[in-house]
């Protein structure tokens, strides 16, 4: 899974989801440990290969 960007989305000031570009497509990834994209984002963050930017 090639994740090239990730940024939190916080509609009410609380991180609600992550806007990520995965395999060239922009997706909205929920903060749900059962979601495979979220777990892969966490894995890549832990590996130091990806950073999740703060929400705008």
Determine, following the binding rule CB under 8 A, whether residue 30 of this chain makes contact with other proteins. yes
Residue 29 near other proteins by CB under 8 A:
yes
| Min CB(46)–other proteins separation in Å | 18
**What secondary structure letter does DSSP report for 55?**
P
First to last CA, the chain: 25
- For residues 25 and 56, give the distance between their C-alpha atoms in angstroms, rounded to a whole number: 20
Among 4, 15, 27, 53, binds other proteins (CB under 8 A): 27
Per the listing, tokens 């495979």 go with: 36
Residues near other proteins (CB under 8 A)? 1, 9, 11, 16-17, 22-23, 25-30, 32, 34-38
């Amino acid at each position: 899974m090639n994740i090239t960007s990730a940024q939190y989305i916080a509609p009410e000031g609380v991180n609600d989801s992550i806007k990520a570009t995965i395999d060239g497509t922009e997706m909205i990834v929920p903060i749900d440990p059962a979601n495979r994209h979220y777990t892969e984002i966490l894995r890549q963050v832990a590996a130091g290969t990806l950073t999740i930017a703060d929400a705008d």
